[in-house]
Chain A
Amino acid sequence: MTDRKPPTTPEPHQEPSPKPYAKKQLGSLGPVDLWLRRGSYLCVFLVVVKIAFLLFSDAWGHAHFSFEKWPGFFEALGFLGFALLVVIGRLMGPWVRRPEDYYDPELAEASPHSGAESDG
């Protein structure tokens, strides 16, 4: 007699990452997500380098504006400036966005995927 086992359902595939966002983000940005996460270690490194240079070396040279030598100035400008421009873009969106055939009615029929589709 062959021993008959009841047919077992395959184990449901376990999500490897417990982080709620990780899979989704990796899916929509691909390797860029990974590069950017690794790149954020560079931020820390650069901050340390700048402070070390300003404290222990005079190789930094002459600055035209005093704020160029403040630690945190370029960091803040990069981060907040970037965020500001993106937020402006986001706020502007509902005001300026129009359907693709707004100017050219021909583009409505030609479009292969009609309807809005969002990313991420």
Chain B
Amino acid sequence: MDEPLFGCTVLDFVLQLPGLPLLLGPLLLPFLPKLGRQIGMVLLPLVSGAHLAWLASGADAEPVRRTIFGHLELVPTRLDDLSMVWGIIFHVAALLAAVYSLHTVEVRKQVAKQWEHAGGLVYAGAAIGAVFAGDLITLFVYWELTAFASVFLIWGKDEPGIERPPAVIFRTGMRYLIIQVGSGVILLAGILLRQMDTSIADPLYFGPLFSGDLASAPLWVWLIFLAFGIKAAFPLLHSWLQDAYTQGTHTGTVFLSTFTTKMAIYALARGFAGTEALIYIGVVMTLFPIPFAVLENDLRKTLAYSLNNQLGFMCVGIGIGTTLALNGAALHAFAHILYKSLLFMSMGAVLYRAKSCKVTDLGALHKSMKWTARFCLVGALSIAGFPLFSGFVSKSLTISAVAEEHLIWIYFGLMLASAGVMEHSGIKIPSYGFYGKDRGMRVKPAPLNMQIAMGLTAAACIFMGLTPGLFYEHIAPYPLEYHSYTVAHVVDQMLLLCFAALAFLVLYRHNVFPKYERAISLDSEVVYRKLLPWATSGIERVGGRVWRGMLDAGTGLFFGIVKVFYDWTGPKGMFGRSWTSGNIAGWATIMLAFYLAFVFFWR
């Protein structure tokens, strides 16, 4: 073939891929000595960031289209303002998570640990690739790669003493993989159906895919929406998130919490901005995890529910689809990645030192982990949306967008959810994680690298809260003129949060809170972890019985008939008494029959 396979030289093609150092570099990590691996883990996100800056400096206004294998037109690199928001924050989060997990770099013995680090960084690279993908096929490839790379973060080996039985971890990873890869397969089915639709001009290009009424949408819209929805943890499709993020290693969950769901939020923002259904899905998503988070004993699972609730805010913004709302969704994803990483980091530190992050085990850890507790407080104040912290400046964009559209019930829902965030993340996480009842537990402070990572993340949260204008101007994907620190915003938000805190105090005094027990809560995962196995075993049980019954009845009937004949004509039967005369009668009958036939046919 004269035409090159990739539409250009292979080297050109590969060098243009964003996140390339994170995609290929980590594969060398397991073969390096300890110090080399530590340096590599910090360096790779930095190199990738520099690579992205290099790509952005040389980028044209129109992304380059490459024809692969002679006919498939791909856009592997599209750098525009919307994807840049996610690109930047994914790099920052990858760097922070890498610094956070430096202490787990062991000498060569632990194979699982080595591939865990490589997996975490490749996972970050794949997510970065996905947000810069300009066409659906490239998106699909990265979509699946995130699933395969991130499962190592669940299968990784954790510190001894942390309760993670290998069989449980293996099954959790398999469930995660099935759901994540399943989402990719559904995405591919949607892409193929879209390509078959001849009315679409550029079927593979990943621009706005659909906005309008989903009820009358063609099948491919539903499939792609469902694929995005699985990874964005829509209500009822969400339980993989709580399942996997609770079972990840103490460093792995920090990676996990950042990329998959926010990549899906990006995909929704790109493809489904203005789809009204997203508003309602988003509101349900902000509200339903809260009672679960209130009940939950495991603090990392509480954070996973709270992550789900925050994704709801972004979905509402995307569903509204105005410039303000989309800016709100993007900036909220930006801020959310920082404070959610911070909270997962602090809980990871607790898990690492105290070997558990369950309410029923913890207490008064602030006496031994002073700085970790303070960083956790910063994360809690950020997620609750207190003024001067990052959650406030990003969440108020979405809420203002809802108010501008006069969606009164949605507004109520989001306000209610904000009060709920105050409970499970604002108060519960720090107070039960660090300040709770003293059970005499004294541990060492978190390792230095963890504290550095948490300190940097906390500083970023406060910086964003103090200088929102900088982020509105440079990070927001669309032009944005907004002031978050007006008297009305600040006082109203503070009123909401302070009275929610007051409610906590009152309810706590009157013992209204559910008692924490060593227990789990049933969630939609019960469908595939109990109901389906029960149903299939039930089908096997009932079906087996029916089949056996039919078989028994059939053979019983057959042998019954045989028995009747036997009883009448067998040795002891009535006709058996006269076998000899019976024989003669039989032969006579046969002869007569032949005679009759002869007469009838040859007459």
Contacts and interface: CB of A to CB of B under 8 A. Distances in A.
Interface of A: 21, 25, 27-33, 36-37, 39-40, 42-43, 46-47, 49-50, 53, 59-61, 63-65, 68, 74-90, 92-93, 95-100, 102-104, 106-107, 110-120
A49 B495 CA distance: 10
Given A29-B508, A40-B498, A118-B516, 14 more contacts: A29-B431, A30-B366, A36-B427, A42-B498, A46-B495, A50-B495, A75-B496, A85-B287, A89-B514, A96-B295, A97-B522, A103-B530, A114-B518, A119-B437
A78 B420 CA distance: 9
B435 A31 contact: yes
A81 B519 CA distance: 26
B498 A46 contact: yes
Nearest to B402: A64
B509 A93 contact: no
A112 to B, nearest CB: 7
Contacts of B430: 32
A20 to B, nearest CB: 11
A29 B364 CA distance: 9
A42 B361 CA distance: 32
B416 A85 contact: yes
Contacts of A102: 520
B167 interface: yes
A85 B495 contact: no
Contacts of B431: 29-30, 32
Given A88-B291, A104-B165, A65 B411 contact: yes
A21 B360 contact: no
A98 B519 CA distance: 6
**Chain B interface mostly:** helix
Contacts of B494: 42, 46
B511 interface: yes
Given A77-B496, A89-B294, A117-B360, A36 B168 contact: no
Interface in B314-345: none
B507 interface: yes
B81 interface: no
A82 B419 contact: yes
Interface of B: 163, 165, 167-168, 171, 287, 290-295, 356, 359-361, 364, 366, 400, 403-404, 406, 408, 411-412, 415-416, 419-420, 422-423, 427, 430-432, 435-438, 486-488, 491-492, 494-505, 507-509, 511-523, 529-530
Given A82-B423, A86-B513, A113-B360, A120 B437 contact: yes
Nearest to A95: B522
Most buried by A among B287, B491, B505, B518: B518
With a 10 A CB-CB cut-off, give which of A50, A74, A104, A113 has the most chain B CB atoms: A74
Contacts of A116: 517-519
Give 5 closest A-B pairs by Cβ, nearest first. Answer: A89-B294, A78-B499, A30-B435, A64-B403, A89-B291
Nearest to B427: A32
Given A60-B487, A97-B521, A40 B416 contact: no
B505 A40 contact: yes
10 contacts: A29-B431, A29-B437, A43-B502, A49-B491, A68-B488, A90-B294, A92-B295, A96-B295, A107-B163, A117-B360
B502 A79 contact: yes
Contacts of B435: 29-32
Contacts of A47: 495
Contact of B515 (A65, A81, A118): A118
A53 B520 contact: no
A30 B294 contact: no
B168 A107 contact: yes
Contacts of B361: 112-113
A78 B487 CA distance: 18
A77 B516 contact: no
Given A30-B435, A82-B422, A89-B294, A74 B171 contact: no
A65 B517 contact: no
Given A90-B514, A111-B518, A103 B500 contact: no
Nearest to A30: B435
A82 B503 contact: yes
Nearest to A99: B519
A119 B508 CA distance: 11
Contact of A43 (B366, B408, B492, B498): B498
Contacts of B412: 77
Contact of A39 (B419, B501, B518): B501
A120 B406 contact: no
Contact of A53 (B416, B487, B500, B517): B487
